[in-house]
């Protein structure tokens, strides 16, 4: 069974190829079958492989499959090989599972769109690249998947390219993540020159044996990889692209910009964790970035009016929690939160998509209201997703993963860990506040406009399945095979009951404040004005615009005439001048030529005579 | 002993003829006159060769004069044919009218 591993990324790739080459002749029904079916098959296969893997290797094993040699040079060999261990196993299941649900949802959500075939082709290509990313056993192959998902993200953000704003958002996402990608590539080269291989397993062993703890090269390599992770996962200071990425269709936001691709940074750090463990400064930086990002993004989410932008900032904030967990050295906590986050955030996005569809493309939460009775599926989906995000105790998946992170922070060995815990606890309060704000505004209160759009079973079913996962995903708990994989080597127990209660209480308090402001208060708009500070993402966009974009554009404008080109233009102009001067002598008048000839003859003879007379 | 014409005199005459022809070419606008001036110039040059041959008692001067004579005849034939063609086409023999080759 494990030998079929190569088929998992190949199936979506085949779906893409089929849709891209032959899709023009297919009916919409066939396109939907190919687009969603390829991912479905891939998910079923992934489940079978997972059970076979656990049966054969148990927790700590790893399965490798080398397909062929990609390139071979003297002293360097890159192979197309797949590597399956507990980390990539979880990622593979999340990607194919959530991917399947979102593809099914999209068959109906995108039904009226003229770019139906293009949409599914891009989505399949994305899933294929994402699977290559997580299954890669070679850092170079991982980089291929990394760039591939970036490309698909760009294509899908700008999916409705007729609107210039969407194209701008796509370019912004591409350029900003490219900054991180450049750092990743540099880190990859540092690792290769320092350790002589790109094979991840070999690389990590050599990093921990050849480089001493905290050595300069390890710090540089880890720092550069962190740069890549920060770009892809929209963490400070490269977080600005994700809210704009909501310009894409909602299923894209759910799959790429919430559940899978943006968590690739977390996966990268988890995959290269032994390297980060060699560089304690960088690891501390990871935690700090996570803590700051989760607070700033949560504050920004409070000020948004666009329902999708609220969820986008929420994604940034939740990935901040994952980075925080990684900074604490707990890959399993980060991965657990990644998994539950994929469930409840996809659920929130799909419910939000249904809401947007019901209001005919309206995104502003202040123009919605009273949708609770009209759209029960969307309401319950959003409620369960929001409860899970706000870590409602005991009944939601988000509670277990977030508490795992917070209790890890509390019981961490370093003094700074308590500060991280504090940030996480305040973040829990803000999370409850910012996610229940749209819930009350959209689903309660007076209906401000009549919902028109309708949706069928293909959109309801994924919401129901994800609701079940957002609740039940936590009862599975951290799979035990993930547990013994922390820096400390211990599974954090809930012996510290007091801090846990504080965090839970803060989360509930956030929900209560949201209820008080947006449900009970008669003057919602005025009180909502309190959160205006977060409207523009705390000014990061404006800052980057002033600091980087405008100087760059000014430079480009100054160089519009291409300064280097002036030299060559001057040469051309000189030649043209000579031509004009010489053509002046060609008058076409015969006697003029005769005169010139005589003059020339006289000059030659005179020169010869004078020359001869010279001593 | 016959009285020899001094070679200088012959050369003065040759130079005079050459200059006369040259002035004719530069000044006249009629193509016929330009051709005639050209003949005068050629004769001036031929005279210089004869004088030189006589001065040194060599036959080369006369041979060259014969060559120039033939050349002049050929040139006149071609030149006159061209003049005829020009006149046929432009109804004019003014050299300045033929300025279509201006750069």
Nearest by CB: A588 against B22, B26, B99: B99
Name which of A505, A337, A302, A513 is nearest A409 in CA terms: A337
For position B78, what pLDDT does the model report?
95
Neighbours of A432 (CB within 10 A): 27
The span from the CA of A98 to the CA of A257, in Å, is: 13
CA distance, residue B55 to nearest chain A CA (Å): 23
Give A92 or A363, the one with higher predicted confidence.
A92
Collect all residues of chain A within an 8 Å Cβ-Cβ radius of residue B26: 591, 594-595, 598
What whole-number distance in Å separates Cα of residue A252 and Cα of residue A173? 14
CATH code for position B45: 1.10.287.3510
Residue keyed to tokens 């607070």: A295
Q: How far is the C-alpha of B37 from the C-alpha of A29, rounded, in Å?
A: 97
Q: Are the beta carbons of A594 and B26 separated by less than 8 Å?
A: yes
Measured in residues, chain A has a length of 615
pLDDT at A488: 40
Compute the average pLDDT of residues B66-72.
Answer: 93
Q: What is the Cα–Cα distance from A233 to A248, expressed in whole angstroms? A: 17
On the question of pLDDT at A485 being above 50, the answer is: no
- Distance set, CA A19 to CA A103, A324, A546 (Å): 14, 40, 43
Average pLDDT of A442-453?
75
pLDDT at site B33:
92
The answer for B 22-61 residues in CB contact with A (under 8 A) is 22, 25-26, 29
Token pair, residue A420, equals 């991280």
Which residue of chain B has the CA closest to A589? B99
Task: Say what the pLDDT of residue A489 is.
Answer: 40
Number of domains comprising chain B: 1
Question: Mind telling me how many Å the CA of B21 is from chain A's nearest CA?
Answer: 12
Query: In this predicted structure, what is the pLDDT of residue A487?
Result: 39
CA distance A597 to chain B (A): 11
Our CA-based measurement puts residue A613 at a distance from the nearest CA of chain B, in whole angstroms, of: 21
Residues of chain B contacting A588 with CB distance shorter than 8 Å:
98-103
Q: Name chain B contacts of A585, Cβ cutoff 8 Å.
A: 103
- The first and second tokens of residue A155, run together, are 């294509």
Burial B45-56 (b: 16+ CB within 10 A, else e): bbbbbebbbeee
Q: How far apart are CA B87 and CA B96, in angstroms?
A: 13
CA distances from B35 to A471, A595, A600, B31, B100 (A): 114, 16, 21, 6, 20
For residue A215, pLDDT over 50 is answered with yes
Q: DSSP secondary structure string, A556-574? A: HHHTTT-TTHHHHHHHHHH
Chain B: give the shortest CA distance to residue A167, in Å: 53
pLDDT in tens, B28-58: 888 899 999 999 999 999 999 999 998 888 8
pLDDT surpasses 50 at A449: yes
Q: Which of A582, A588, A595 sits opposite B101 (nearest CB)?
A: A588
Question: Averaged over A279-308, what is the pLDDT?
Answer: 87
Q: Which domain range does residue B68 map to?
A: 8-92
Residue B97 resides in a domain? no
Check whether A484 has a pLDDT greater than 50. Answer: no
ipTM, two decimals, is 0.83
Query: Which of these ranges, A211-215, A244-248, A260-264, has the smallest mean pLDDT?
Result: A211-215
Closest CA to A95 of A61, A132, A67, A69: A132
Q: What is the pLDDT of residues A124-183, one digit of tens each?
A: 999 999 999 999 888 889 999 999 999 999 999 988 888 888 888 899 899 999 999 999
- Decide if pLDDT at A68 tops 60: yes
Interface probe, candidates B30, B41, B96, chain A, greatest A C-beta count within 10 A: B96
Mean pLDDT of chain A: 84
- Asked if the structure places residue B45 within a domain, the reply is yes
- A-B Cβ pairs (cutoff 8 Å, strict): 34
- Overall average pLDDT of the A432-438 stretch: 86
**Closest Cβ–Cβ partner in A582, A586, A598 for B102:** A586
Tens-digit pLDDT profile for residues A356-412: 888 877 777 777 777 777 788 888 888 888 888 888 777 777 888 888 888 888 877
% of chain A at pLDDT higher than 70? 92
Give the per-residue pLDDT at A186. 93
- For chain A, the domains span 283-535, 561-613
Q: B28 in a domain, yes or no?
A: yes
Looking at per-residue pLDDT, the higher value among A523 and A434 belongs to A434
pTM of the model: 0.76
* Cα B33 to Cα B18: distance, rounded to the nearest angstrom: 15
Do residues A219 and A190 lie in contact, with contact meaning Cβ atoms separated by under 8 Å?
no
Has residue B99 been placed in a domain? Answer: no
The predicted pLDDT at position A490 comes to 42
Residue A328: the pLDDT is: 85
pLDDT at A492 over 70: no
Q: Which of residues A609 and A394 earns the better pLDDT score?
A: A609
B68 lies in some domain = yes
Count CA within 13 A, CB hemisphere, residue A31.
Answer: 26
Angle at A112 between CA A106 and CA A114, to 5 degrees: 100
Q: What is the pLDDT of residue A608?
A: 94
Sequence-distant (6+) residues with CB within 8 A of A82 are: A5, A6, A9, A64, A65, A67, A135, A136, A137
How far B20 CA sits from the closest chain A CA (Å)? 13
B89 in contact with A at a CB cutoff of 8 Å? no
B101 belongs to a structural domain: no
Of B22, B26, B102, nearest to A588 by CB-CB distance is B102
Pick the more confident residue, A476 or A491.
A476
- The phi and psi torsions of A82 (rounded to 5 degrees) equal -100, 145
Contact B26 A582 (CB under 8 A): no
Q: Do B26 and A591 touch (CB under 8 A)?
A: yes
Give the C-alpha distances (Å, rounded to integers) separating A229 from A220, A236, A557: 14, 11, 33
Q: Which residue of chain A is at minimal alpha-carbon distance from B98?
A: A589
């Amino acid at each position: 069974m494990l030998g079929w591993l190569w088929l998992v990324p190949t199936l979506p790739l085949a779906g893409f190829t089929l849709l891209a080459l032959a899709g023009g002749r297919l009916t919409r029904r066939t396109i939907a079958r190919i687009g969603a079916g390829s991912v479905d098959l891939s998910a079923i296969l992934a489940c079978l492989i997972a059970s076979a893997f656990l049966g054969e290797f148990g927790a700590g094993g790893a399965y490798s499959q080398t397909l062929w040699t990609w390139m071979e040079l003297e002293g360097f060999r890159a192979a197309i090989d797949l590597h399956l261990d507990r980390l990539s196993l979880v990622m593979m299941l999340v990607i194919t599972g959530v991917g399947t649900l979102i593809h099914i949802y999209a068959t109906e959500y995108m039904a009226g769109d003229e770019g139906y075939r293009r949409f599914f082709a891009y989505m399949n290509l994305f899933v294929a690249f994402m699977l290559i990313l997580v299954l890669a056993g070679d850092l170079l192959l991982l980089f291929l998947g990394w760039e591939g998902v970036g490309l698909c993200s760009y294509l899908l953000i700008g999916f409705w390219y007729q609107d210039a704003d969407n194209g701008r958002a796509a370019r912004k996402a591409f350029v900003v993540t490219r900054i991180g990608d450049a750092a990743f590539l540099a880190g990859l080269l540092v690792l290769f020159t320092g350790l002589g291989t790109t094979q991840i397993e070999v690389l990590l062993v050599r990093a921990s044996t050849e480089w001493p703890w905290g050595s300069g090269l390890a710090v540089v390599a880890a720092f550069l990889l962190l740069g890549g992770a920060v770009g892809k996962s929209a963490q400070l200071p490269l977080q600005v692209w994700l809210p704009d990425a909501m310009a894409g269709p909602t299923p894209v936001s759910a799959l790429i910009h919430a559940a899978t691709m943006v968590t690739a940074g977390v996966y990268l750090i988890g995959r290269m964790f032994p390297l980060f463990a060699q560089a304690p400064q960088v690891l501390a930086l990871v935690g700090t970035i996570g803590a700051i990002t989760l607070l700033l993004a949560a504050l920004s989410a409070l000020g948004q009016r666009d329902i999708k932008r609220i969820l986008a900032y929420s994604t940034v904030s939740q990935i901040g929690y994952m980075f925080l967990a990684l900074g604490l050295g707990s890959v399993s906590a980060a991965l657990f939160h990644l998994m539950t986050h994929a469930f409840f955030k996809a659920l929130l996005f799909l419910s939000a998509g249904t809401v947007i569809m019901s209001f005919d493309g309206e995104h502003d939460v202040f123009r919605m209201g009273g949708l609770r009775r009209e759209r029960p599926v969307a309401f319950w989906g959003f409620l369960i997703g929001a409860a899970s995000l706000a870590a409602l105790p005991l009944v939601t998946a988000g509670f277990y993963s977030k508490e795992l992170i917070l209790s890890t922070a509390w019981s961490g060995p370093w003094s700074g860990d308590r500060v991280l815990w504090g940030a996480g606890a305040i973040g829990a309060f803000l999370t409850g506040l910012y996610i229940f704000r749209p819930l009350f505004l959209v689903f309660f209160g007076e209906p401000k406009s009549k919902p028109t759009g309708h949706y069928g079973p293909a959109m309801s079913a994924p919401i129901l399945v994800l609701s079940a996962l957002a609740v039940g995903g936590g009862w599975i708990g951290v799979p035990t095979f993930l547990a013994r994989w922390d820096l400390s080597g211990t599974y954090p127990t809930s012996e510290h009951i007091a801090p846990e209660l504080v965090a839970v209480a803060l989360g509930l308090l956030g929900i209560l404040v949201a209820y008080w402001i947006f449900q009970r208060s008669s003057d919602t708009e005025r009180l909502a004005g309190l959160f205006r500070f977060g409207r523009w993402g705390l000014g990061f966009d404006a800052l980057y615009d002033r600091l980087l974009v405008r100087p760059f554009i000014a430079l480009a404008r100054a160089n519009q005439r291409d300064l280097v080109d002036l030299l060559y233009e001057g040469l051309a102009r000189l030649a043209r001048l000579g031509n004009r001067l010489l053509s002046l002598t060609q008058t076409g008048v015969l006697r003029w030529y005769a005169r010139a000839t005589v003059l020339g003859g006289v000059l030659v003879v005179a020169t010869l005579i004078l020359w001869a007379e010279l001593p | 002993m016959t009285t020899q014409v001094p070679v200088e005199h012959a050369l003065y005459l040759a130079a005079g003829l050459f200059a006369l022809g040259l002035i004719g070419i530069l000044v006249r606008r009629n193509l016929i006159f330009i051709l005639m001036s050209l003949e005068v110039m050629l004769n001036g040059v031929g005279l210089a060769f004869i004088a030189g041959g006589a001065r040194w008692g060599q036959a080369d001067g006369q041979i060259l004069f014969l060559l120039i004579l033939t050349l002049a005849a050929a040139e006149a034939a071609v030149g006159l044919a061209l003049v005829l063609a020009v006149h046929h086409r432009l109804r004019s023999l003014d050299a300045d009218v033929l300025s279509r080759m201006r750069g």
